[in-house]
């Protein structure tokens, strides 16, 4: 079946089945597919007058399958409108999947650069694959034409994917992940005068021996006078309380855009569900990053609801003393309902109910440093608990569902005041620590929406500047339109 027929088939299926999506856990302000599966964000950009977010998508089931590209547009990064499927497997070079990639506007057209994936033996056998970089173009930003293969893999390389394209001086450049013989992970940089003819320039990041064997979803960008590389390494082993997810995403900072030290890589997010971040530059100059807020190899509890996977809130990123700072885009304020100013809450071996049911809301609070307690924090119904552990000097997010029991922690100086900004959706949490110095992202399903409350155990705690508001539902009624 040719490309346009594959696109029509996918779109018709979504249009005919999207009403079957169960909404109990479907997010109210985190973007998810109108039907089916999503994973990596792709083609995140501002082009042709709109923000665009493409994404890895299987439209026929809420499970991973031959990858298509879903698509949504927005004028403010918060209110998204579903668009028709942009890419579908159809050609010999991408017959088993249009894998991750990126987008760029040029000469009034929108170009997509993506990985064409082919299984050389049985589907799922990663030891025998072929991956190439491919180009597609659109004049209206919605309907695309495939232009074919533009970059072949280096000799001896099979795993070669996830191109991120950008403009650099008077030419184009892209970075792409490659798994070299001997399981050596590299991020390769290619350059081009026209988006069609590319030459390999260098490797900007190479993993130490016996470390990561593949850097998925690489991204690189200038930020506050320095340069950042973001990658999702495969094969890293846990280190204490760090790197405990099946897959993680990391960043490094350098003054040289073509050389990053792999030993300086730091986790981007400490939570259970964060992978494959991709960034773009907004028209006002802000660097905005978004990621898949789900995780490989964990139970996907929304399978039966005919949807699976969502994206984080877009985050403004900056650098402070070489550290990546992440905050929700300022446009998130458009979601706020009436703010309830609670003020100071003093607890001693007690709880304080903030909200009768743990439904979409924004919570801000501070916890003064140097207090005496065993644990203290926030309980999110039956889903999760965020708590300070005084003995271990850690902040921990504990997801409590059966099959999802998985604490994630970070070290914290509890002599220092702590500020938390927390965004609760129907099945996810995003937590911003100390004005974005650290973050936790996680999902949860099928729990009881009991109280949202503060607590203190074995001691006294003063919570200050506590405020709470509900958040508007802007996505649960969105459907892909007839086009």
Structure tokens at 26: 């479907």
Q: What is the CA radius of gyration of the chain?
A: 22
Burial class (CB in 10 A: 0-12, 13-18, 19+), 272: buried
Point out the catalytic residue in the list 24, 40, 96, 256: 40
| Both tokens assigned to 290 | 């978004």
Neighbouring residues of 16: CB distance < 8 A, sequence distance ≥ 6: none
Estimate to the nearest angstrom the gap between the alpha carbon of 348 and the chain centroid: 38
Is residue 451 part of the annotated active site? The answer reads: no
- Please give the sequence-ordered ranges of beta strands (E in DSSP) within 224-274, or none if there are none: 226-234, 250-254, 266-267
Q: What CA–CA distance (Å, rounded) separates 91 from 60?
A: 19
C-alpha dihedral over 62, 67, 71, 76, to 10 degrees?
A: 80
- On whether the CB atoms of residues 327 and 430 are closer than 8 A, the answer is no
**227 within 8 A of 192, measured Cβ to Cβ:** no
Q: Which two tokens stand for residue 456?
A: 């203190």
> Which of 99, 85, 106 lies closest to 42, judged by CA?
99
Spatial separation of the C-alpha atoms in residues 481 and 132, rounded to whole Å: 32
Q: Whose CA is closest to 74, among 118, 41, 113?
A: 41
Catalytic residues: 40
């Amino acid at each position: 079946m040719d490309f346009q027929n594959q696109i029509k088939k996918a779109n018709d299926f979504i249009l005919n089945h999207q009403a079957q999506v169960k909404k109990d856990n479907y997010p109210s302000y985190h973007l998810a597919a109108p039907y089916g599966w999503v994973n990596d964000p792709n083609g995140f950009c501002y082009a042709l007058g709109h923000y665009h977010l493409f994404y890895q998508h299987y439209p026929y089931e809420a499970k991973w399958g031959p990858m298509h590209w879903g698509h949504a547009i927005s004028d403010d990064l918060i209110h998204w409108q579903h668009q028709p499927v942009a890419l579908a497997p159809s050609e010999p070079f991408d017959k088993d999947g249009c894998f991750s990639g990126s987008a760029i506007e040029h000469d009034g057209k929108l170009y997509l650069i993506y990985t064409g994936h082919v299984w050389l033996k049985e589907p799922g056998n990663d030891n025998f694959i072929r991956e190439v970089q491919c180009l597609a173009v659109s004049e209206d930003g919605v309907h695309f034409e495939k232009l074919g293969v533009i970059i072949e893999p280096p000799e001896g390389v099979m795993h070669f994917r996830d191109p991120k394209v950008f403009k650099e001086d008077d030419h184009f450049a892209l970075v792409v992940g490659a798994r070299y013989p001997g399981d050596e992970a590299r991020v390769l940089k290619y350059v081009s005068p026209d988006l069609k003819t590319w030459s390999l320039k260098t490797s900007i990041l190479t993993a130490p021996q016996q470390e990561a064997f593949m850097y998925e979803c690489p991204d690189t960008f200038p930020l506050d006078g320095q340069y950042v590389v973001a990658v999702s390494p495969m094969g890293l082993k846990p280190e204490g309380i760090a790197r405990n997810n099946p897959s993680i995403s990391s960043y490094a900072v350098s003054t040289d855009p073509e050389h990053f030290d792999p030993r300086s890589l730091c986790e981007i997010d400490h939570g259970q569900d964060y992978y494959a971040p991709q960034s773009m530059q907004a028209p006002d100059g802000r660097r905005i990053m978004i990621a898949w807020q789900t995780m490989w190899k964990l139970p996907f509890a929304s399978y039966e609801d005919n949807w699976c996977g969502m994206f984080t809130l877009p985050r403004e990123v900056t650098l402070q003393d070489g550290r990546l700072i992440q905050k929700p885009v300022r446009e998130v304020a458009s979601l706020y309902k009436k703010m309830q100013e609670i003020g100071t809450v003093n607890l001693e071996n007690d709880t304080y109910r903030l909200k009768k049911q743990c439904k979409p809301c924004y919570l801000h609070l501070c916890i003064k440093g140097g207090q005496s307690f065993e644990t203290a924090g926030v309980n999110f119904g039956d889903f999760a608990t965020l708590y300070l552990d005084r003995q271990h000097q850690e902040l921990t997010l504990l997801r409590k569902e059966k099959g999802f029991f998985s604490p994630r922690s970070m070290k914290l100086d509890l002599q220092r005041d702590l500020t938390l900004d927390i965004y609760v959706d129907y099945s996810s949490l995003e937590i911003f620590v100390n004005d974005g110095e650290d973050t936790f992202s996680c999902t949860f399903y099928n729990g009881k929406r009991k109280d949202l409350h503060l607590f203190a155990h074995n001691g006294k705690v003063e919570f200050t500047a506590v405020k709470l508001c509900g958040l508007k539902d802007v996505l649960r009624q969105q459907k892909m339109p007839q086009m």
